[in-house]
Amino acid sequence: MSNQHRNAPAPDLSLRVKALEAILVEKGLLDPQTLDLLIDAYENKVGPRNGARVVARAWVDPAYKDRLLSDATAAIAELGYGGLEGAYMRVVENTPTVHNLVVCTLCSCYPWPVLGLPPVWYKSAPYRSRAVSDPRGVLREFGLELGPEVEIRVWDSSAEQRYMVLPERPGGTAHLSEEQLAALVTRDSMIGVAKVKAPATR
Amino acid sequence: MSQNPKLEDVPGVRRLGGEAVFQSPWEARSFAMALSLAGEGRYGWEEFRARLIAEINRQGQAEARQAYYESWLKAFERLLADKGLLSPGELESKVAELAAAAPPRGAHGHGGNS
């Protein structure tokens, strides 16, 4: 499922979008430089490295973790992250017996300030429906096999609530700095389709 | 499908978290236009989201392959029309105008197909 977005070529809507932009600029509704800044922000600045820092902080600082689990929006803001699509955050914690998975069944609600924009597969119809109806199967397709003793909780995002998963800290990482821990945390682990792997042993 | 082990190293490809944020420039422009006008207060972000949800539902299961940003663009166009910011036929006229002004593609093409 994860790499199927290239099955059919998307239509080239370049001309249509250029035309629309031209109209809106002519009407004074749009500044092309604003567009450039927005695109730059979401291509280069706002992304899962933010969430990874939140996760690493929670792993090393139990008091921060408590704050993160009780008021995620405020705790995330402590690290300087917030804004559009991140106003109502909740962080859900993975444990050895509970695994969390995040979806938006209706569209693509996703916590932009900590994860950036969602991947194509997250927005796809198969993921949006199967995450709820067959989460174990979805995880299996992502290469994550969970034992029957693990409860899977699926969180359906909406305008009113955004979710981020706090993945389990892998074993063998006690010696790592917070920055090194953050480098281990993947976008997929914060959506819930993967776990964080310890660095490969030599 | 080949795997690129170090996607961050590929020059000119904008990636965060290992894959392209936008598949093509028109997606990026559509994204930014919708945000920008909401930021200007032309409509509420939730108004846009409601139309996005409607477009995604409109395509149905058979057309599940419709690219996400096609739905996004349609939602944006509909919202602009509803807000009186885009008149009927205005976009089509502009598309025709730009198409007429653009140099012919392929006539002196690079590809060598004849």
Q: Work out the pLDDT band at B23, boundaries 50, 70, 90.
A: confident
Does the CB of B10 have a partner CB in chain A at under 8 Å? Answer: no
Question: Of A26-35, A139-148, B58-67, which range is least confident?
Answer: B58-67
How is A10-41 classified by DSSP, letter by letter? PP--HHHHHHHHHHHHHTTS--HHHHHHHHHI
> What pLDDT does residue A10 have?
58
Mean pLDDT of B31-41: 97
Predicted confidence (pLDDT) at residue A178 exceeds the cutoff of 90? yes
pLDDT score recorded for residue A98:
98
Beta bridge partners of residue B20, listed in sequence order: B15
Please state which of the ranges A25-29, A58-62, A71-75, B11-15 shows the lowest mean pLDDT.
B11-15
Q: Kindly list the residues from chain B whose CB atom is less than 8 angstroms away from the CB atom of residue A38.
A: 31-32, 35-36
Residues 6 or more apart whose CB falls under 8 angstroms from that of A67 comprise A74, A75, A78
Give A44-88 pLDDT, tens digit per residue: 999 999 999 999 999 999 999 999 999 999 999 999 999 999 999
- Is a pLDDT exceeding 60 seen at residue A125? yes
A186 pLDDT higher than 80: yes
A107, A129, A133, A177: the active-site residue: A107
A30 against B103, higher pLDDT: A30
Given a cut of 60, whether residue B46 has pLDDT beyond it is yes
Q: Where are the alpha helices (DSSP H) in chain B?
A: 25-39, 45-59, 68-82, 90-101
Work out the minimum CA distance from B16 to partner chain A, whole angstroms. Answer: 6
Tell me, yes or no, if A124 is annotated catalytic. no
Handedness of CA A80, A116, B28, B55 (dihedral sign): negative
* Beta carbons of A16 and B95 less than 8 Å apart: yes
Query: Own/partner pairs for B51-58, CB < 8 Å, 24+ apart?
Result: B51/B75, B51/B76, B51/B78, B51/B79, B52/A107, B52/A108, B53/A106, B53/A107, B56/A106, B56/A107
pLDDT in the model for residue A11: 67
**Average pLDDT, stretch A80-97?**
95
- What's the pLDDT score for residue A5? 44
Q: If residue A55 lies in a helix (H) or strand (E), which one and from where to where? A: helix A48-60
- Chain A residues with CB-CB distance to B42 below 8 A: 29
Q: Is B94 on the interface with A (CB under 8 A)?
A: yes
Active site residue A133: no
Is A2 a residue of the active site? no
pLDDT exceeds 50 at position B113: no
For residues A143 and A61, give the distance between their C-alpha atoms in angstroms, rounded to a whole number: 30
Query: What is this structure's pTM?
Result: 0.85
pLDDT (0 to 100) of residue A156:
97
Q: Among partner residues A13, A30, A124, which is closest to B37 by beta-carbon distance?
A: A30
> In terms of pLDDT, which residue wins out, A38 or B113?
A38
Residue numbers of A between 134 and 153 with CB closer than 8 Å to B: none
- Answer whether A183 touches B (CB < 8 Å): no
Of A4-8, A110-114, A122-126, B20-24, the range with the highest mean pLDDT is A110-114
**Residue ranges of B 37-66 with Cβ closer than 8 A to chain A:** 37, 39-40, 42, 45-46, 49, 52-53, 56, 61, 64-65
Across the interface, whether the CB atoms of B91 and A125 are under 8 A apart is answered: no
Per CB-CB distance under 8 Å, the chain A contacts of B53 are 106-107
Q: Which residues touch A108 (CB under 8 Å, ≥6 apart)? A: A118, A122, A123, B52, B68
Residue among A95, A106, A90 nearest A163 (CA): A90
Lowest mean pLDDT among A46-60, A153-167, B5-19, B70-84: B5-19
pLDDT at B32 over 50: yes
Summarize the confidence of residues B8-16 as an average pLDDT. 42
